[in-house]
Amino acid sequence: MFQISEASFSDSEYLDMFETQLFGNTPVSYKDILLNYDQNNYLIYVAKYNNQNIGYISGLLVCDDLNILNLGIDEKYRNRGFGYQLLNYLIENKRKIKLTNIFVELRKTNTLAFNLY
């Protein structure tokens, strides 16, 4: 069964490990982000399949704009629509604040992301 939930402090180790696996070392840890979660406009959701973490999406709200920061799905679970569901969940969850723009920045070589967005 596929589930999406808002990230909690207990997810920080998974998020750091998975992001490093996907993107290399990052300057800020998810532990730091989640400690300041209430004071920031970070949006972080974790995807689970059969109670196993399989991916996440993170975004940043700036006024009425949503910046998609990262979206990653474990390689074993790609091409099953989980990335689309995460993206849709984030956008639909924030639609009530009347988003004006949604931004995402991609590398030219990231064909999986181009196909998703």
**74-116 confidence digits (pLDDT tens):** 999 999 999 999 999 998 887 777 788 888 776 676 666 556 5
Q: Does the pLDDT at position 36 exceed 80?
A: no
CATH of the domain at 94: 3.40.630.30
For position 54, what pLDDT does the model report?
97
Residue 10 lies in domain: 2-116
SS3 helix, strand, coil % of the chain, rounded to 5? 40, 30, 25
pTM: 0.82
Cα separation, 47 vs 83, in Å, equals: 9
Q: Provide the terminal-to-terminal Cα distance of the chain, rounded to the nearest Å.
A: 24
For the chain, the domain total comes to 1
What confidence tier does 9 reach under pLDDT thresholds 50, 70, 90?
confident
Cα separation, 6 vs 44, in Å, equals: 6
Cα separation, 46 vs 57, in Å, equals: 7
Beta strand 65-73 with 101-104 is parallel
